[in-house]
A and B are shown apart, each in its own frame.
Chain A
Amino acid sequence: EPEVTQTPSHQVTQMGQEVILRCVPISNHLYFYWYRQILGQKVEFLVSFYNNEISEKSEIFDDQFSVERPDGSNFTLKIRSTKLEDSAMYFCASSTQYYEQYFGPGTRLTVT
């Protein structure tokens, strides 16, 4: 069964550095998402992406965040200048339509 994959599984970075989290969605899916989960808190929506543009974003997704689908398979989340409070588990998801979202295993981002 096809799955969403994410790399790296764990990323450690220093405050102020840029990070790029990578995702490979399921191949026939058209909608892509990023969520995050700060330790001990709920899973929170960050952004959805369809037809090569952002279709929805949360208030968390400020100018420090960007998403891109640089080729036909990858979907990336970039944080330009990381802050301590960006430390979280970041989940990528994809779907054929905007329900039944399938999640990747997550990237644990630690900002020191």
Chain B
Amino acid sequence: AQRVTQPEKLLSVFKGAPVELKCNYSYSGSPELFWYVQYSRQRLQLLLRHISRESIKGFTADLNKGETSFHLKKPFAQEEDSAMYYCALLYSGFQKLVFGTGTRLLVSP
């Protein structure tokens, strides 16, 4: 069955430190993976899609099919990066996103 695992509920770092938010998936097909971000009291916003290979707000994520991972990285965290981050897998053909439980990133000054 399709599943997304985000092992860390909370990741706390200092400003300027590198950040890696972990995401592992379980899916038998060809995965399409996304990172969504939810700032305090705001909507879920699409941050990254693995196919586009873009860098948004300094974040990048690489799909590693061998390790079934799609970790989100940023070399230097900023205070404004503090938010909930959700990894999501598109269950292709069924038009639904399967979300992980989310990781709260807290960047302290």
Contacts and interface: CB of A to CB of B under 8 A. Distances in A.
Contacts of B100: 42
Interface range on chain B (Cβ under 8 Å from partner): 20 to 34
Contacts, number: 54
Interface stretch (A10-18, A62-70, A72-80, A99-107): A99-107
B43 A98 contact: no
B96 A99 contact: no
Interface residues of A, number: 25
A43 B44 contact: yes
A99 B43 contact: no
B95 interface: yes
Contact of B99 (A42, A55, A58): A42
Interface of A: 3-4, 31, 33, 35, 41-45, 48, 50, 55-56, 58, 91, 98-106
Given A42-B86, A99-B90, 9 more contacts: A33-B96, A42-B99, A42-B101, A43-B86, A43-B88, A44-B99, A45-B98, A50-B95, A103-B36
